[in-house]
């Protein structure tokens, strides 16, 4: 699969701060990458480097095989969309005028501009000046602006900030649609719940360094965090303790009709088979380690110096 973004040993220093250090990663065509990290981790700096808005102190950036700061910059600009972290528009313009302005720069037909306003739920507010828009409406307009011209690469910096739950759900739906169409997306966020179903891979940054990179399954495997298995039913007191201990599982809790087990990925299937084979088990629920748990794990790992 072709590479849309290639970062090689990127380093970015500001006067007082090293914002990024040794960042290498690739994003393939059609992939949705979640770029996660605390405040100041280097997410916006990474996005600005990809867009060529700032120059790297050292290392290389290639977008669609080209440098975003060379003479290809203008062509690249027509092929990507960007929603900045703090979206701001000229307040006196209406939503429609804003899209017309950006649409002309990208040579997008007016029918598409209108369709985009509808897609982000702003059709009715299209004739109103942006100064009357709520924060969420501005964010939606920013998204419409980023989607102009069917970009091959879409970069969304904290896109859910300011959005209500319905608008957040709509944003993720749009993201899923773009993913099906093969758009490459880089989504920076520290809002974790709900995001995991919409991304293919995760990059976790901390203090300018890449702490983890991979699919959720990759990260789960290397973090070895336990799966939570919960069963409900009727059984005789003392049924489970020896069976679990035989399998080397010590982290479990039995409380009358409820059994909760923390199992390593290696013993997960065996435990489930054991529970399913028991007539007394009436319900079973298995939860993989969440993205939030992985995020905490990879941040702590560095704190304790295990990097």
Chain residues that interact with ligand ATP, rule: CB under 6 A: 14, 17, 19, 37, 39-45, 85, 190
Q: How far is the CB of 54 from ligand ATP (least distance, A)?
A: 8
Cα(238)–Cα(198) distance, integer angstroms? 42
Q: How far is the CB of 49 from ligand ATP (least distance, A)?
A: 9
Dihedral sign for Cα 147, 148, 150, 152, please.
negative
**CB nearer ligand ATP, residue 119 or residue 206:** 206
Q: How far is the CB of 291 from ligand ATP (least distance, A)?
A: 17
Which residues touch 268 (CB under 8 Å, ≥6 apart)? 227, 229, 286
**CB nearer ligand ATP, residue 57 or residue 228:** 57
Q: How far is the CB of 175 from ligand ATP (least distance, A)?
A: 19
**CB nearer ligand ATP, residue 57 or residue 94:** 57
Q: How far is the CB of 53 from ligand ATP (least distance, A)?
A: 11
User: Please, what is the angle between helix 95-105 and helix 135-147, to 10°?
Assistant: 20
**CB nearer ligand ATP, residue 41 or residue 130:** 41
**CB nearer ligand ATP, residue 14 or residue 90:** 14
CA angle 24, 39, 142 (to 5 degrees): 85
Cα(91)–Cα(133) distance, integer angstroms? 9
User: Please, what is the angle between helix 165-180 and helix 135-147, to 10°?
Assistant: 10
- By CB atoms closer than 10 A (0-12, 13-18, 19+), residue 239 is middle
């Amino acid at each position: 699969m072709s590479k849309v973004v290639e970062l090689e040993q990127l380093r970015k220093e500001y006067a007082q701060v090293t914002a990024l250090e040794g960042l290498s990663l690739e994003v393939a065509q059609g992939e949705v990458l979640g770029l996660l990290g605390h405040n100041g981790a280097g997410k916006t700096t990474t996005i600005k480097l990809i867009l060529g808005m700032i120059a790297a102190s050292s290392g290389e950036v290639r977008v669609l095989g080209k440098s975003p700061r060379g003479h290809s910059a203008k062509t690249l600009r027509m092929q990507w969309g960007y929603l900045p972290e703090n979206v701001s528009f000229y307040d006196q313009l209406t939503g429609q005028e804003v899209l017309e302005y950006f649409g002309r720069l990208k040579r997008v037909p007016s029918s598409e501009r209108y369709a985009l306003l509808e897609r982000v739920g702003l059709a009715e507010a299209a004739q109103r000046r942006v100064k009357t828009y709520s924060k969420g409406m501005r964010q939606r307009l920013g998204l419409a602006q980023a989607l102009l011209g069917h970009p091959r690469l879409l970069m969304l910096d904290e896109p859910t900030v300011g959005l209500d739950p319905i608008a957040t759900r709509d944003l993720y739906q749009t993201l899923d649609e773009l993913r099906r169409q093969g758009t490459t997306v880089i989504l920076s966020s520290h809002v974790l719940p709900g995001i995991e179903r919409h991304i293919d891979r995760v990059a976790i940054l901390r203090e300018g360094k890449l702490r983890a990179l991979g699919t959720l399954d990759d990260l789960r495997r290397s973090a070895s965090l336990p799966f939570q298995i919960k069963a409900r039913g009727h059984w005789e007191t003392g049924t489970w303790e020896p069976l679990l201990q035989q399998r080397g599982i010590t982290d479990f809790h039995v409380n009358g009709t409820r059994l909760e087990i923390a199992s390593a990925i290696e013993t997960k299937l065996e435990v489930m088979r054991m529970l399913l084979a028991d007539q007394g088990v009436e319900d079973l629920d298995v939860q993989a380690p969440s993205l939030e748990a992985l995020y905490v794990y990879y941040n702590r790992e560095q704190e304790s110096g295990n990097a």
